[in-house]
Amino acid sequence: MSATIVPLPPNSSSETVDFLRRMASMVSERNGEMLLRAASLIESLAQRAMSAERLYHEQQIESTRNTELREAAELAFDAERGKLLGLMQHAESHIGKLTSELDGLRASVDRFNETSVAVPIEVLRLARTQFDYLSSGFARKGDVISQAMSEIGAFAIDQALTAKKTDSA
């Protein structure tokens, strides 16, 4: 919104008003009143024109300032948006890597689960005690083969318990 402002020549309205007032004093009452009203109207319009000119100038400055602020805000927004997009892409890449790693771990756990069974340690200790009891019973009866098998079972459980202790240490 641009408008051409043509400033009034200095003192032109005051000279005109002074002339009209002098003229009003020389003419009849009705014409004199009309000339005085015209002089007052010219003064009022000149003041309104100067106020409008000031207001227009202030609004033009404000508009320029608002445009600069808007442009700065747009630049800041674009910069932050770029940063956020970069962070999102990095996060998506990281999520992709973690998903691949998780899939690998799941496959590894699945392969492990196919070849092993999870047993609580207390159950293993109890089984170890039972193998010892069986081994001593077979030894009393003279069944060497059954005694050896019981001792092998006890030894295997000892190996599993020892491996568990070293894993957790």
Please tell me which residue, 11 or 65, carries the higher pLDDT value: 65
pLDDT for position 1: 54
Please tell me which residue, 123 or 5, carries the higher pLDDT value: 123
- DSSP H helical ranges for the chain: 12-26, 29-115, 121-141, 144-168
| 75-129 tens-digit pLDDT | 999 999 999 999 999 999 999 999 999 999 999 888 887 887 778 889 999 999 9
Using a pLDDT cut of 90, give the percent of the chain over it.
Answer: 63
Residue 6: pLDDT band by 50, 70, 90 thresholds? low
Q: Determine contact, residues 21/35, Cβ cutoff 8 Å.
A: yes
**Nearest in space to 131 (alpha carbons), one of 113, 145, 111, 151:** 151
pLDDT for position 89: 96
| 78-93 tens-digit pLDDT | 999 999 999 999 999 9
DSSP string, 48-96: HHHHHHHHHHHHHHHHHHHHHHHHHHHHHHHHHHHHHHHHHHHHHHHHH
Residue with tokens 């001593």: 136
pLDDT(2) > 70: no
Distance in angstroms (rounded) separating the CA atoms of residues 31 and 42: 16
Distance in angstroms (rounded) separating the CA atoms of residues 54 and 64: 15
Q: Is the pTM of this model over 0.75?
A: no
pLDDT for position 10: 59
